[in-house]
Amino acid sequence: MLLITGLGNPGAQYARNRHNIGFMAVDEIHARHRFSPWSKKFQALISEGMIDGEKVLLFKPQTFMNLSGQAVGEAMRFFKLSASDLVVIYDELDLPPAKLRIKAGGSANGHNGIKSIDAHMQGLLGSRDYRRLRLGIGHPGAKELVHHYVLGDFAKADNEWLEVLFTALADNIAYLVKRDDNGLMNKVALALAGKTANQENKAAPTAKAAPKAQSHIRQARQHHTMAAKLPASGPMADMLAKLFGKKDS
């Protein structure tokens, strides 16, 4: 069994926060696969389903971010899971927007939700080597701006890459279940690269077709037509003859 945990803060006022990208990702997985309705258990919202023949629990702690480990630890103890059975999805400041990275273990890198889970996992299993699926949100540029930034909402312009990211992640979640992390990262990267290419093609100005060169036959016909229209006699003919140096025969 795999416990896929998305991190975030409960409540409508936090729903669009950058800090809640883990909740958003898990919600998309829930929407695209056959999972049970959300129910409250282990201080969290939990849903059960099957992916690629394996039982999967989707998990959204409702303890607020800083206490995420309480809910995760309670579920891990109840189901008697090991560190390898846990995947945590969360926001990463040090990755550019739309980038996805997966690794087992590592540092919390200042993320309070991960700090809380690390503490509970260390006490429960003596190991923090669960898989961490980090979703890039970018960095505001200065440490003092981080708190406001992560608790701020995504901009409307972010919706395009968020939609592609969540769709690609949910559609290829079987790679995560099969422990093929590189396969999942490649699929998501390709989906995002395709979106970028389409945007560039739409933005590129359409080149105007160069005028077609006239054939020698067409040029000759036009010259003949013009020549045929010139007067053969009269004042105009005399003037043209003087202009082009034509001599009387």
| Neighbour tally for 58: CB within 10 Å | 24
Among the options 19, 30, 111, 120, which is catalytic? 19
Is 19 known to be catalytic?
yes
Residue whose structure tokens are 């309070």? 112
The answer to whether residues 192 and 161 touch, using CB atoms and an 8 Å cutoff, is yes
Tell me which residues are annotated as active site: 19
